[in-house]
Chain A
Amino acid sequence: MLSRVADCLIWMGRHVERAENIARLLDVNTQLMLDIPLVQAEKLKKDWFPIVAALGDEEGFQKATKKTDSATVTHYLTFDRKNSNSIFSCIAAARENARTVREQISSEMWEELNRVYLWTLGKEARRTFDDNCYEFFQRIREFACLFYGVTDTSMPHTAGWDFIQLGIMMERADKTSRFLDEEFHLVKGTPDQPSIYAMQWTSVLRSCSAKQAYQQIYVASVEREKVADMLLLSESFPRSVQFCVHEIDTVLRRISGVQPARFSNRAEKLSGRLIAELVYSSIDDIVSVGLHQAMDDMQTKINAIGAALYDAYIYHPTPSEDDGENSNLPRHNQQQ
């Protein structure tokens, strides 16, 4: 497979996952505002900023917007085409990736992506949002489900499919760790105000579609350490960091054909090492440096796997000087 094509497939998966994650985060937090007593809510409205931070986009937001409230944040993260990480921009980018590698993916995948893209261009999307933003975010999330469904059932599970999975899982691991970290700042209640405290940690779970799974495992009370434990270390919950890294490791080995516990490139070495670290750690070990620091480290390690993946499969060493190639980076090199 062409390296540029692999690059496009990784980013197609990543952009779809990103759009879905933003939709889920905004959906949950919009609802949280409605659930919280008015006085608290007023205070929280000024505190939407952590949501932007959770998506790693503080600087861009501050440049684009003067005021921080639910309206400006939601607009910036949903519609703003100047923000390359808004839902609409992610969908446009995923669709552009798909158009570039149209001959590699199934018609069903293309048509699903193209349909949602055309929907974002029309007036109906905006009308749905103004009418009922829950329904709007639901539409985005349903699109992602459909897209993953047809990707699974209509595309051969060979290298191309593997690269899409890598994009999805890298993005998912990154976002789970960010949501956990930044929502932690958002939570203003203390255990002294049990109802609000629980509600806010519940919203962290819901941001990761993890509420029901949490209830099954921990039965009732929602506590910070348990939430962190589940979202970082669960072996079975599909959005936990450990689960995602395990998937990344499996896919990397499927691409190269290398057995577990061995490695043929740096990406496999790093993913194997991170799995071992997660498997042999308890949540107390991890948060001993502070949750924020721990999440920062986690994102750095996930990014390092990504960079090593690109070194192994996407970038090619530049030939000798007189060959005249000034750049061997694919032109579709995109911002995270």
Chain B
Amino acid sequence: MKPGFTNYQLDGFFDEMFVNDRTVRPHYQRLLERFNRLTPAELENRRRLADASFLNQGITFTVYSDNQGTERIFPFDIVPRIIPNSEWQHVERGLTQRITALNLFLHDVYHGQKIVKDGVVPRTFIDGAKHFRPEFMGFNVPKNIYIHVCGTDLIRDETGQYVVLEDNGRCPSGVSYMLENRQTLRQVFPGLFESYGVRPVASYPQELLNVLKYIAPLSRPNPKVVVLTPGIFNSAYFEHSFLARQMGIDIVEGSDLTVRDGHVYMKTTKGLEHVDVIYRRIDDDFLDPKVFRKDSQLGVPGIVDAYRKGNVSLANSIGTGVADDKVIYYFVPQMIKYYLGEDPILPNVPTYLASEATGMKYIMDNLPKLVVKAANESGGYGMLIGPHASTAEVEKFRKLIKANPRNYIAQPTLGLSRHPCVVDGKPEGRHVDLRPYVLYGDKVTIVPGGLTRVALTKGSLVVNSSQGGGSKDTWVLEGDQ
């Protein structure tokens, strides 16, 4: 092994790049050679180049620590993650199976609830899911598709097996970073891609637009499609704007839309213009102050009525949150069997439900060793990582779980796979996950790769950007090396 990686330690974790301290995995061989030709100074220089590119393009979020805002970029690591094609095909099959089952489940939940009647999922778990929308029972969504865009978080365990950590079926974010990371790495390491045979990701916006057009009301052959954003102060605004630009469609805020006679219109300089499909990046709760949260300033009064009348289509549909509830997650493998008669290709992480007697006992007995998650939270909030928590924090969660068992699940603390990242000019192992973006239209489309998120703090298992996470470019190869 060459200079840079001489002192690279695996520390007993599954490493994406190395089999052991001496042996590189074959699909990383050429990348390692390329990196070994760089001095630490050159490495640092490339890193700075990448940061400057993000900053100049305004791919930033603003931190208001004093009266003047400071621009921050989401940390980007320049060592790409590489996935051989055969490995990816396995992931792709698993994700396709999973989204198919989730959509069948949602259709069932909002219609006959056969899965409840057949005793596979207890009724209380569905009724108790925070994002279940009983007001949409019996409502038919266009083409029977509920989740059009799904961000499924995968991790690899100690043996390297891909495992599903959670499904994000409401408004998953991060896809713009998948695309921008690729653009940036291309500038930082020109020439490397061609020789490696990296499958492109750039078609994502076009694929998304195809899905959005596919679900348009039948009477609208040339549908007007828009992106609905909470606005410029939302931390994902760059992404909303980026996707609108890439798809060549308008980005609107709630106040740009108005509902007249059950139809949605946007307010333009030439008067009102009919809107047919809305890719909304606003949660159900804020969508329509007449139906959901009355205090919402972000939504459009009357939009749910227009949706019910079939005059406007929404992606994702209203009420998908029941499927990404962390208690419902527990039942996804059973769902796959129930609806498709297949074994799950991608397993779940072993999960204990606090609302079941055996689960509760196990959780109480092993709390300091477990990861506890609130059923309806996302973004790494409402979480306990037992081994990294103080006794006081563990006891606080013990009380919370006992007070509201329905709201908590627990999982063993996993040794997430690690990947080399450049830290102070040297490669060091950091834990990573993978979020591929699954599109469901006339067929399931998954752009090869996804967003690899990195827990940049040494030893940390939390990859969320709100909690000090960064990201990497993710390469799916045309072949296996």
Contact = CB atoms under 8 A, between A and B. Distances in A.
A319 B260 contact: yes
B244 interface: yes
Contacts of A4: 252-253, 255-256, 267
B244 A100 contact: no
Nearest to B290: A324
A331 B231 CA distance: 10
Given A2-B268, A81-B68, A102 B241 contact: yes
Contacts of B268: 1-3
Given A4-B255, A4-B267, A110-B58, A103 B245 contact: yes
Given A102-B58, A121-B70, A331-B253, A323 B302 contact: yes
Interface string A101-132: 01100010011001100100100000000000
Given A100-B232, A325-B258, A2 B267 contact: yes
Given A2-B268, A96-B232, A324-B289, A103 B56 contact: no
B251 interface: yes
A107 B70 CA distance: 22
Contacts of B250: 2, 5
B22 to A, nearest CB: 45
A323 B259 contact: yes
Contact of B56 (A81, A115, A316, A331): A115
A103 B55 contact: no
A114 B255 CA distance: 26
A107 B237 CA distance: 17
A325 B301 contact: yes
Interface string A304-333: 000000000110100100011101101100
Nearest to A7: B269
Interface string B261-272: 000001111101
B232 A111 contact: no
B269 A6 contact: yes
A159 B269 CA distance: 9
Contact of B252 (A2, A82, A102, A314): A2
B67 interface: yes
Contacts of A327: 255
Contacts of B70: 121
Nearest to B226: A2
B391 interface: no
Chain A CB within 10 Å, residue with most, of B58, B237, B242, B272: B58
A324 B301 contact: yes
B414 to A, nearest CB: 39
B33 interface: no
Interface string B228-251: 000110000110011011000011
A323 B68 CA distance: 39
A99 interface: yes
Given A111-B56, A121-B68, A314 B269 contact: yes
Given A99-B232, A100-B232, A331-B255, A323 B58 contact: no
Contacts of A100: 232, 241
Interface string B60-77: 000000011011000000
A316 B260 contact: no
Contacts of B244: 103
B219 interface: no
Nearest to A312: B269
Contacts of B68: 81, 121
Contacts of A103: 241-242, 244-245, 251
Interface string A1-22: 1111110000000000000000
B23 interface: no
B232 A313 contact: no
Given A99-B58, A110-B58, A121-B68, A2 B256 contact: yes
Interface string B207-241: 00000000000000000000000011000011001
A316 B232 contact: no
B233 to A, nearest CB: 10
Interface string B394-408: 000000000000000
A316 B256 CA distance: 10
A314 B242 CA distance: 24
Contacts of A255: 269
A114 B58 contact: yes
B57 interface: yes
Interface string B460-472: 0000000000000
A314 B269 CA distance: 6
B436 to A, nearest CB: 25
A103 B232 CA distance: 13
Contacts of A331: 231, 253, 255
Interface of A: 1-6, 81-82, 96, 99-100, 102-103, 107, 110-111, 114-115, 118, 121, 159, 163, 255, 313-314, 316, 319, 323-325, 327-328, 330-331
7 contacts: A102-B238, A103-B241, A103-B251, A110-B57, A163-B269, A323-B259, A331-B253
Interface of B: 55-58, 67-68, 70-71, 231-232, 237-238, 241-242, 244-245, 250-253, 255-256, 258-260, 266-270, 272, 289-290, 301-302
Given A82-B67, A114-B58, A115-B56, 20 more contacts: A1-B269, A3-B267, A3-B268, A4-B253, A4-B256, A4-B267, A99-B241, A103-B244, A103-B251, A114-B56, A118-B55, A118-B71, A163-B269, A319-B258, A323-B258, A324-B289, A325-B301, A328-B267, A331-B253, A331-B255
